[in-house]
């Protein structure tokens, strides 16, 4: 995951980003940042799951392709729980 992708996800989660730096969405107290941090963690987890599933998708040598497909499907399903 690149720095730019992380900054984009932080921005999507509601943080303020300027010149490749990420800041609090406002001058809120730490406990008020929890929803933003949860959103950011969710976006990171989704990205990581998809990257792992893509590794499974790429593992298709015929002999184990069904197992690889099932692994990719299981990884993606974790985001639906």
Check whether 10 has a pLDDT greater than 90: yes
Q: Where are the domains of the chain?
A: 3-78
What residues does 21 pair with on adjacent strands? 18
Check whether 58 has a pLDDT greater than 90: no
pLDDT above 70 covers a percentage of the chain that reads 86
Q: Which helix (H) or strand (E) holds 71?
A: helix 65-78
Closest CA to 53 of 22, 80, 13, 16: 80
pTM, 2 dp:
0.77
């Amino acid at each position: 995951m690149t720095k730019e992708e992380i900054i984009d996800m932080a921005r999507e989660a509601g943080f303020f980003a300027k010149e490749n730096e990420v800041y609090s969405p406002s001058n809120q107290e730490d406990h008020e940042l929890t929803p933003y941090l949860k959103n950011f963690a969710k976006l990171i987890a989704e990205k990581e799951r998809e990257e792992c599933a893509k590794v499974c998708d790429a593992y298709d040598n015929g002999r184990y392709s069904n197992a690889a497909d099932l692994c990719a499907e299981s990884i993606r399903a974790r985001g639906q729980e």
